[in-house]
A = this chain, B = another copy of it.
Amino acid sequence: MKRKKGALVPLEIGILSALALARKDHVSETHGFQIAKLLQDGARARLLTAHGTLYRALGRLEQMGLLDSRWEDPHIAAADGRPVRRLYRLTDAGLSALARRRAETRAPLRRRQLARA
């Protein structure tokens, strides 16, 4: 998939949306595996099949500055008996990118609604 200059691919939008939704539940940080589950369980199930695809998309979003990440304290992981997680968070740029993209998709809808009226 060649990317349209400056645009986001569906999976990337799905990730940002999932993180925005989590934020509404006062969950400011989410790890990759959790995002994978959110995408698989939600309405965006088709967006993701392989995990490798997700981690690469997360890397791209961080590179773009739409997300940032930090490593969880390994002692917490050890106490829970699982690998260390990398915790992702939406940046201000990420939030506005999502808002911009929503404005873009809503705009044509309004025009169609106007035409119908």
Contact = CB atoms under 8 A, between A and B. Distances in A.
Nearest to A69: B78
A108 B72 CA distance: 52
A78 B74 contact: no
A74 B75 contact: no
Interface string A65-87: 00000011011011000011010
Interface in A47-94: 71-72, 74-75, 77-78, 83-84, 86
A74 B85 CA distance: 10
Contacts of A75: 71
A77 B74 CA distance: 11
A84 B71 CA distance: 10
A84 B83 contact: yes
Contact of A86 (B71, B72, B78, B86): B78
Interface string A10-44: 00000000000000000000000000000000000
A45 to B, nearest CB: 27
